[in-house]
Amino acid sequence: MLIPLILSGGAGTRLWPVSRLAYPKPFMALADGESLVSKTLRRALSVVDGGEIWTVTSEDYYFLTRDHYAKLDDAGVSQRFVLEPVGRNTAPAILAAAMAIGQQHGEEAVLLVLPADHLIKDLAGFRASVATALALARDGYLVTFGIQPDHAETGYGYIRVGNNLDGGFDVRAFVEKPDRPTAQSYLDGGDYLWNSGMFCFAAGALIGAASRHCPELQQSVANTLQATNQDENPMRLDREHFAANRSISIDYAVMEHAQRRAVVAADFDWSDIGGWPAVSKLADADAAGNRVPGDAVLVDCKGCYVQSTQRVIAGVGLRNTVIVDTEDALLVADNSACQDVKEVVERLRASDHPTAVFHQTVHRPWGTFTVLEDRPNFKVKRLEVKPGQVLSLQRHQRRSEHWTVVAGRAKVRCADDESILVPNQSVEIPVNTLHRLENPDAEGNAVVIEVQCGDYFGEDDIERFEDIYGRA
């Protein structure tokens, strides 16, 4: 039984301003309109054997992940979700899933761990490499996938390969991200592969290795599962116990110390889309090497990447420049310095700037809201509520709200009164009044313009009493 385990999350700070904490890299739409997490699910569906795909994700990303999955036809495959209440790196997450799968399907069940932020186009080559890894995993190996390096990359970890195995190699060593001269020596030596971060192993083999090499973590994760209701889907890991786990990667915790380790040299293309230079390669280049997915006019520009969704971008005399424009933030960077975009995000977070976390359009389980105007004494939003979805029953202490329906129908509760509003009808929600908004229809979004008036409009002024998404 082969069960793909998708790891959906990650900040993707080097891809700001498109990737942000509330809507990170796996959910970015690529040039073909499909997200990385959707592409990962597509890969998982191509190899699943046993009818189940498991996903570990944050509580904050569950509804985003579920909605992206809904765009693909996964008929006949059961989707199981494991939700992390806090981030603790990959080892606790993978171990928790392996223990749960082992209890349900036996410790001989094989997990295929797939991060949701990788891009692989060659599905046939991917399936061939998975078949090789599966055979090694069934023989008791902890298997990782290595990528043949084509340049001296300093942003990846490396794997030093050893003796030939049946379709793969044993692992001599895992190596940290090197400096450039060391990376060049790895490339020249020919016995190093990039560490892709994908794995394949039997649940029991991983648990056994963890019990030998990180017994405290293994026990801590076991305690988490014991305190968790494993019959639920999604399975919400117990917050108190999971938060007590050490934050550590599966590489550090297990793979670097285990005895039976193998690496399969991947027979497919691979990119972790680690920054804007990698994204730019997905677009076609013109004769001057410019790549422009959007509306732009370039005069005497060479080697530039320009991405715009809202307005026309004009560039004159630019060389090797990256320009990424969003509704509320603009990035202009030299192509060679794009790794440092993460420092921009760090400074924005340090000053509590909202663009480090949110887009102008914010995704919620029920739909989206877009901030149209934000002033000291009022705020205007456009709410789009998906069919059959409902916001929480809530109230605010520091603002009133005025709702006007502009498309679809809205079922509104204000205090003890309920009504159905159609386009061009409005309702006022006074301060400290229980209220709720719902789309009662089976098709089409309910679109509402919300005007908030008061002296504070933060999300922490929401007091929830009932919520179908578990946020109350």
CB 393 within 8 A of CB 380: no
pLDDT band at residue 318, thresholds of 50, 70 and 90? Answer: very high
Q: Residue 75 has what pLDDT?
A: 77
Digit-coded pLDDT (tens) for 453-467: 999 998 899 999 999
**pLDDT 10s digits, 228-276:** 999 999 999 999 999 999 999 999 999 999 999 999 999 899 998 889 9
In angstroms, rounded to a whole number, what is the distance separating the alpha carbons of residues 230 and 227? 9
pLDDT digits (tens, 9 = 90+) for 11-56: 789 999 999 999 999 999 888 889 999 999 999 999 998 889 999 9
pLDDT score, position 408: 98
Structural domains for the chain: 2-265 (3.90.550.10), 276-340 (no CATH), 361-466 (2.60.120.10)
**Residues 230/82, Cβ–Cβ less than 8 Å:** no
pLDDT band at 472 (very low <50, low <70, confident <90, very high): confident
d(Cα 246, Cα 99) in Å, to the nearest integer?
A: 17
Between the alpha carbon of residue 146 and those of residues 47, 157, 179, 230, the distances in Å are 19, 10, 19, 33
Distance CA 100, CA 94 (A): 10
Q: Quote the pTM value.
A: 0.90
Q: pLDDT band for position 79 (50/70/90)?
A: very high
- Average pLDDT of the chain is 95
Average pLDDT over residues 147-167: 91
Dihedral, 387, 388, 394, 398 alpha carbons, nearest 10: 10
> What does the pLDDT look like over 209-238, one tens digit per residue?
999 999 999 999 999 999 999 999 999 999
Residue 394 has pLDDT above 80, yes or no: yes
What pLDDT, on the 0 to 100 scale, is given for residue 37? 96
pLDDT at 267: 85
Q: How many Å apart are CA 153 and CA 196, to the nearest integer?
A: 13
pLDDT of residue 233: 93
Q: Could you read off the pLDDT of 337-365 as tens digits, one per residue?
A: 998 999 999 999 999 999 999 999 999 99
H or E, element range at 42 = helix 36-47
**Cβ neighbours for 287, distance < 8 A, ≥ 6 positions apart:** none
User: Is the per-residue pLDDT at 166 higher than 90?
Assistant: no
In this structure, what token pair is assigned to residue 287? 């004769």
pLDDT at 73: 82
What per-residue confidence (pLDDT) applies to 283? 92
Residues above pLDDT 90, as percent of the chain: 89
Does the pLDDT of residue 336 top 80, yes or no?
Answer: yes
- Percent with pLDDT over 70 in the chain: 100
Residue 418: partners with Cβ closer than 8 Å, 6 or more residues away: 411, 412
Mean pLDDT computed over 393-414: 97
Q: What confidence category does residue 76 fall into, taking pLDDT thresholds of 50, 70 and 90?
A: confident
Can you give the pLDDT at residue 260? 94
Average pLDDT in the 106-125 region? Answer: 96
- Residue 414, strand partner residues: 417, 435
Token code pair at residue 142 = 């902890």
Residue 323 pLDDT class (50, 70, 90 cuts): very high
Residue 377 has pLDDT above 80, yes or no: yes
